Amino acid sequence: MDAEDKQEGKLPLIILAGPTAAGKTEVSLAIAEAVHGEIISCDSAQIFQGVNIGTAKIAEKDRQHIPHFGLDLVPADAAYSVADYQRYAKACIQDIVSRGKLPVMVGGTGLWIRAVIQNFIFTPQDPVLSAAVRRHIRLIAEEHGWEKIRSLLKILDPEGYQAIAAQDKNRLSRALEVVWTTGRPLARQGQPSPYRFEYWVLTRPLTDLHRRIEQRTQTMLDAGLPQEVMGLLQQGVPRSAQSLSAIGYRETVQWAYGLMSESERNASITVHTKQYAKRQLTWFRSEKSARWLDLSLYGPDRVIAQVLSRARSLQEL
C-alpha cells in the first residue's frame, strides 16, 4: 500500500503552530483566504468569552470575512479540557470539509493539537471520584505547596510535568487527577490519525521572539489588559477560574489583589511569556511530523508560498 492509498478517506487539515508572538495570525489569514479555508483556533485561553486582550484574540473586524472557530466557546468562569476541545475540533473539521472548504488549525497549544491529530482516547471518569480527588489535591497544595503537586506529577506523568507551566494550577491539578483516577497519564494514547495533514511550526530566533514578546506585552497593557481583568473580577469570575490562570491574567489578578506592584506585574508578564514560548518550542520539537519555517529568515511572503504549495497538494488528493 503506497502513501497515497493510506491517505484515502482521511480529511484534509492544515496546521499552523508555533510559539506566542511568532506571527501566526498574519500567515493564517493569508493561507485561509488563498485556499478558501476556514480557521480553527487552537489556543487554550482564547476559548473564554471576555478574555481578549491578553490572549491577542483576533477582533471580529479583522477576520477578513474568513470564518473562525474555537473562539469564545465558554464563559470566563467555566472549565474546559483537552477532551472538550478534541470533540469540538473534530466536529468543526468534519463540518468545514463537508462544505468543500479546507480547515486550517492555528495556535500554540501543542497538547490540544496532538489530541486532535493523534486521535487521543479519553477514559470516562467517575464525576464523584474526580471531585473527591480534586479536593484532595487542593488540600495537599494548601498544606505543602504546589511544588509538591508538581513533584508528584513529575513521577507519575513526566510529559505532563514538562508541558504544564508551574503557575498553571488548574492544569497541574487536572493532570494529577487523571493519573490518580484512571491509572494512566492524561491523554497520551492515540489511534491512527483520521486526517491527512500538513503540520507547520512558524518560529523566529529567540532574540527576535523575545523582542516581539516585550512589544506585545506593552501593547496589551496599553490596550487595557488591567481594565479587562478588573472587569472580569467585578462580573464575579473567581480569581481561581481557569481563564484567569492564563499568562497576563494571573499576574494582573495578583496586582489587583495588592500582591505585586504595577512594575512587578508588567515584568512578570514578560518573563512568564518568554518562559512559555520556550516551553512551546520544546514541545513542538517533539512533533516528528512538523516542518519548521523561520519567519525572520524567510519573511511572511515566502513562508506563505511554501505552506500554500503543500496546502494545494492536500486539496488535490
Fold for 3-121+196-316, please state it: Rossmann fold (3.40.50)
Query: Rounded to the nearest 5°, which phi and psi values hold at 276?
Result: -65, -45
Q: Which percentage of the chain shows pLDDT scores above 90?
A: 73
Q: Is residue 24 scored above 90 in pLDDT?
A: yes
List Cβ neighbours of 280 (8 Å cut-off, separation of 6 or more). 18, 19, 20, 108, 110
Per the listing, cell 520556550 goes with: 278
Banded model confidence at residue 16, pLDDT cuts 50, 70, 90: very high
Q: How large is the average pLDDT for residues 41-64? A: 93
Identify the bridge partners of residue 294 per DSSP, sorted by sequence position.
Answer: 203
Q: Point out the least confidently predicted range of 46-50, 156-160, 182-186, 206-210.
A: 182-186
Q: What is the CATH number of domain 127-182?
A: 1.10.20.140
Q: Is residue 22 scored above 90 in pLDDT?
A: yes
pLDDT tens per residue, range 29-45: 999 999 999 999 999 99
Q: What is the pLDDT of residue 234?
A: 97
pLDDT tens per residue, range 134-154: 889 999 999 999 999 999 999
DSSP string, the chain: --HHHHHTTPEEEEEEE--TTS-HHHHHHHHHHHTTEEEEEE-TTTTBTT--GGGTPPPGGGSTT--EESSS-B-TT----HHHHHHHHHHHHHHHHHTT-EEEEEES-HHHHHHHHTTPPPPP--HHHHHHHHHHHHHHHHHH-HHHHHHHHHHH-HHHHHHS-TT-HHHHHHHHHHHHHHSS-TT------SEEEEEEEEE--HHHHHHHHHHHHHHHHHHTHHHHHHHHHHTT--TTSGGGGSTTHHHHHHHHTTSS-HHHHHHHHHHHHHHHHHHHHHHHHT-TTEEEEEHHHHHHHHHHHHHHHHHHHHHH-
Distance CA 223, CA 78 (A): 25
Q: What is the pLDDT of residue 152?
A: 93
Banded model confidence at residue 162, pLDDT cuts 50, 70, 90: confident
Hey, where are the domains in the chain?
3-121+196-316, 127-182
Query: Rounded to the nearest 5°, which phi and psi values hold at 42?
Result: -125, 75
Q: Is residue 275 scored above 90 in pLDDT?
A: yes
Identify the bridge partners of residue 42 per DSSP, sorted by sequence position.
Answer: 107
pLDDT tens per residue, range 83-103: 899 999 999 999 999 999 999
Q: Which percentage of the chain shows pLDDT scores above 70?
A: 93
Q: How large is the average pLDDT for residues 206-235? A: 97
Query: What interhelical angle do 110-117 and 262-285 show, nearest 10?
Result: 30
Q: How large is the average pLDDT for residues 121-133? A: 74
Banded model confidence at residue 303, pLDDT cuts 50, 70, 90: very high
Mean pLDDT (the chain) is 91
